[in-house]
Amino acid sequence: MRLVPGATIGILGAGQLGRMLAMAAARLGLKSHVFAPDADAPAFDVAAAKTVAAYEDEAALARFAEAVDVVTYEFENVPIACAEFLSERRPLRPNARALALTQDRLPEKTFLQDIGLETAPFLAIEDAGALIRAVASLGRPSILKTRRFGYDGKGQALVREGSDLAALFRGLGTEPTILEGFVRFEREISIIAARNLDGDFAAYDLCENEHERHILARTRVPAAVQPATEAAARDIARQVIEALDYVGVLAVELFLVRDYDGAERLIVNEVAPRVHNSGHWTIEGALTSQFEQHVRAIAGWPLGATTRLGAIEMRNLIGEEAANWPDILAQPELRLHLYGKVEARPGRKMGHVTRIRPGS
């Protein structure tokens, strides 16, 4: 089903990604109806319609489905029951399988290996005894991660020499976990790609990402990688997208490792079934932003060109950093984005700044 201008996109989740999706949709003459439980969230400011309700509220979900033409989501922790309920009533793009696979690290990594991609070695941990055996097998350092609801380094613990395994296991609570072998990566890279209803595929240039305290701090594009690495990343994104019969924008987070002979190799860290923080540079830095691309894809429209317009640096404004907005505005070459969040809690993404050096 293809949308026409004037149609309504239903967006699950009301964070900054939903906000930027709604703004891109509006530019193309589409309306957005945002559904989320927290009334005080960034996307509500820019949506034509809103529902403030729990993702388990079937009466509210049914009314939402009636009011929209297609449903999408801006975060991967949408409850599967909610996604399935909506997909019985309206097209859900991307599909519920993409959600189910990417919201749990165990099926996600298993899927990636099944389609022939390299991930960090991993083992499922059911109890403290399994952790001891897994550490014996994967070595130290290694990383214990909750299977679900991990983001920005939350739900992770580094297993070092001398770490008390029983205490680490208890520290992550009763959540199911996996242990991952430690990847000695040189850099972190991501690729943002899209597929539309007709199966057309498009990818952006590779992004090079720097994290501070587990939160994305900076993205630089183009990533300084060998041409073969750029091609390998595109192949990875295409394989994931096709294996999931995916419609929309997707991000693949990758570790770049350097082999003893100097060759670069990519290891898949995780897949985000949505627009991604490392793709914010595309708003001013590419002919089509990742947000417009997602809207085009889920609307059943042709994809836009992903051509990059210069050398780009995107910096996140975390917590109090957003208080510098007057200084940023005073630098004419910087593009400021603020997400309209009232409270600048530490670690909270409040906005971002993009700098483009045209032409390179």
Task: Find the shortest distance in angstroms from Cβ 214 to ligand AMP.
Answer: 6
> Is 323 in contact with 280 (CB distance < 8 Å)?
no
Give one DSSP letter per residue of 90-159, joined into a string: S-BSS-HHHHHHHTSHHHHHHHHHHTT--B--EEEE-SHHHHHHHHHHH-SSEEEEESSS--TTTTEEEE
Residue nearer to ligand AMP on the CB measure, 76 or 188: 188
Q: Are strands 122-125 and 177-181 parallel, antiparallel or unpaired?
A: antiparallel
Residue nearer to ligand AMP on the CB measure, 76 or 292: 76
> Is 354 in contact with 283 (CB distance < 8 Å)?
yes
Task: Find the shortest distance in angstroms from Cβ 25 to ligand AMP.
Answer: 28
Residue nearer to ligand AMP on the CB measure, 70 or 251: 251
Residue nearer to ligand AMP on the CB measure, 141 or 310: 141
> What is each CA distance from 323 to 187, 320, 345, in whole angstroms?
30, 5, 12
Task: Find the shortest distance in angstroms from Cβ 338 to ligand AMP.
Answer: 25
Task: Find the shortest distance in angstroms from Cβ 272 to ligand AMP.
Answer: 9
Contact residues: ligand AMP, CB under 6 A: 120, 143, 150, 153, 180, 182-183, 188, 211, 214, 253, 269-270
Task: Find the shortest distance in angstroms from Cβ 175 to ligand AMP.
Answer: 14
Task: Find the shortest distance in angstroms from Cβ 120 to ligand AMP.
Answer: 4
Residue nearer to ligand AMP on the CB measure, 269 or 290: 269
Residue 172 parent element (H or E) = none
Residue nearer to ligand AMP on the CB measure, 36 or 143: 143
> Is 249 in contact with 294 (CB distance < 8 Å)?
yes
Residue nearer to ligand AMP on the CB measure, 74 or 180: 180
**Count of beta carbons in the 10 Å neighbourhood of residue 73:** 27
Task: Find the shortest distance in angstroms from Cβ 269 to ligand AMP.
Answer: 5
| Half-sphere exposure of residue 190: CA atoms within 13 angstroms, side-chain side | 25
> Is 253 in contact with 233 (CB distance < 8 Å)?
no
Task: Find the shortest distance in angstroms from Cβ 293 to ligand AMP.
Answer: 23
Q: CA triplet 319, 321, 324: central angle to 5 degrees?
A: 140
Phi, psi of 52 (to 5 degrees): -105, 105
Residue nearer to ligand AMP on the CB measure, 141 or 340: 141
Report the chain's C-alpha Rg in angstroms: 20
Cα–Cα distance for residue pair 276/150, rounded to 1 Å: 15
